[in-house]
Amino acid sequence: MSELAGISSALLYAAFILYLVGTFLFGGSIRQKGLRDGDQLNRWGKLAITVTIIGFIAQLGYFITRWAAAGHAPVSNLFEFTTFFGMMVIGAFILIFFIYKTAVLGLFALPIAIIIIAYASMFPREISPLIPALQSDWLHIHVTTAAAGQGILAISFIAGIIYLVKNIDQSISTKKTKWLEAVMFLIVSVVGFILITTGFALSDYKAEFEYVNKEDAAAVQEFNVPALVGPNEGVLITDGKMNPIVEMPAFINAKKLNTVLWSLGAGVILYVLIRLITRKRVAALLQPLVRNVSSDLLDEISYRSVLIGFPVFTLGALIFAMIWAQIAWTRFWGWDPKEVWALITFLFYAAFLHLRLSKGWHGERSAWLAVIGFGIIMFNLVAVNLVIAGLHSYA
C-alpha cells in the first residue's frame, strides 16, 4: 500500500518537473501567432504541448495511485484539493489549447499551475482517512466537478491577464499599470510564501507557544516560521527561538496572520528586487512575450473559458454541493462561508456574462473582470479555508 503511495508522490513530482520544462518550451514557441485551420504548430509548440500532456498524464497517475492507496479520491484535504485544482488548470489549458492553438497561453497557464501545486505542497501531505461527513460518493462528484469548473475559469483569468499585459500602455504610469502590478505582486507573494515556508521547513524551525484561545482556554500552538506576531497571552516554550514583536487578540489566529505577514514581506523583497534589477514593471517585463498574440483572440479565449467553465462550476460547486449538503448536513444550504463564497463566485460570473452580453463589455474591461473572478475563486480556496473557519475547514 505505502509502495503505491510512494509511486504516487513520485508521479506528482515528475508532473511538476514536466510542467516546468513545458513552460520553457512554450517560451520557445511564442514567436508563432494564434493559428488558423490548416496551419501547423511549430516544433517548439508541438514539443511543449506534448510535454504538458505527458505531465498531465503523470499527474493523473498520481491521482489514480493515491486514490488506490487511500481508498478514496484524493480530494479530501487542502493539499489534495489544491493539487487537483492545479491539475484541472492544466487540463482546461490543454482543452482550450486544442481549440485555439495559442502557445502564449501555455507560457502563462503552466507557471500558474506550478505555483498552485507548489502552494498545495505547503500543507500536510500525508494520506488522511475520511471523517464521517466526507464518507460519500458525493465527495468525488462534488469536489472534482467544482475544481474542474474553477480550472476552466482560471484559463479565463490567464487569457485576461495576457490581454492586460499586452494592451496596457507601460510607457506611462497610470491607475491601470498600478492595478496590474498589484496582481503581479500578489503572484510574487505566493511565490514568497512558498519560498519562506520551504526554507524554514528545511531548517526544521519549530517554536511552541502556550496561549489563551478564543474560548478562554489554554492551548498550544506551534509556529513553523519565526513569530512576528504572537498568540493571545502567548508564552514561548521552545528555547532559543524568536519572541513575537506584537501580541494578537484571541480571535485572530496569530499563526496564520504571521504566515501571511512573512509571505507579504517576502513578496515585497522579491518584487522590489525584480524592479531594482530590471528597472521595469513586472508587467512591462512580460510584455515582449505576448507581442505576437491577437488581442481579439485573447478576448475570445477568456470569454469562451467562462462560457465553458460557468456551467461546470455551477453544477459542481452549487448543485452537487447542495445535493450532498442535504444528505450530509441535513440541509442543502446553510450559509456556511464556503457556500456563500461559491455563491458569490456564481453571482460574479453571472454579472460578468450579463455585462458582456447586454452592456457590451469586452476587451479590457472583460479582462479585468476575469482577473477579479479568479481573485474570488482564490479567496474562496485560500482565505475561506484558512482564515474564516467554517464547516469546510478540513485541512
Asked if 47 touches another protein (CB under 8 A), the answer is no
Asked if 128 touches another protein (CB under 8 A), the answer is yes
Rounded distance, CA 10 to CA 213, Å?
A: 39
Asked if 191 touches another protein (CB under 8 A), the answer is no
Decide: residue 109, CB within 10 A, 0-12 exposed, 13-18 middle, 19+ buried.
Answer: buried
User: What residues contact 166, with CB distance under 8 A and at least 6 apart?
Assistant: 287, 290, 291, 293, 295, 298
Cα–Cα nearest to 191, from 132, 271, 128? 271
| Range in contact with another protein (rule: CB under 8 A) among 11-19, 67-75, 87-95, 238-246 | 67-75
Residue from 15, 48, 69, 116 touching another protein (CB under 8 A): that is 69
Asked if 169 touches another protein (CB under 8 A), the answer is no
Instruction: Count the alpha carbons within 13 Å of 190 in the hemisphere toward its beta carbon.
Output: 21
Asked if 37 touches another protein (CB under 8 A), the answer is yes
Asked if 292 touches another protein (CB under 8 A), the answer is no
Measured from the CB atom, is 99 or 272 closer to another protein? 99
Q: 380 and 318 in contact (C-beta within 8 Å)?
A: no
Asked if 149 touches another protein (CB under 8 A), the answer is no
Which 296-325 positions form the footprint of another protein (CB under 8 A)?
A: 296-297, 300, 303-304, 307-308, 310-311, 314-315, 319, 322
Asked if 394 touches another protein (CB under 8 A), the answer is no
Contacts 24+ apart (CB under 8 A), 374-381: 374/153, 374/154, 374/156, 374/157, 374/160, 376/341, 376/344, 376/345, 376/348, 377/150, 377/153, 377/154, 377/345, 379/341, 380/338, 380/341, 380/342, 380/344, 380/345, 381/81, 381/82, 381/85, 381/150
Asked if 219 touches another protein (CB under 8 A), the answer is no
Residue from 20, 250, 264, 270 touching another protein (CB under 8 A): that is 250
Asked if 1 touches another protein (CB under 8 A), the answer is yes
| Range in contact with another protein (rule: CB under 8 A) among 84-92, 203-211, 270-278, 357-365 | 357-365
In the chain, the amino acid numbered 308 is I
Measured from the CB atom, is 275 or 394 closer to another protein? 394
Measured from the CB atom, is 2 or 203 closer to another protein? 2
In the chain, the amino acid numbered 4 is L
Rounded distance, CA 67 to CA 315, Å?
A: 23
Shortest Cβ distance from residue 204 to another protein (Å)?
A: 15
The counts of H helices and E strands in the chain are 12, 5
Contact set with another protein (CB under 8 A) = 1-2, 5, 36-37, 69-71, 100, 124, 126-129, 131-133, 135-136, 214, 249-251, 295-297, 300, 303-304, 307-308, 310-311, 314-315, 319, 322, 326-328, 330-332, 334-337, 340-341, 343-344, 347-348, 350-351, 354-355, 357-359, 363, 384, 388-390
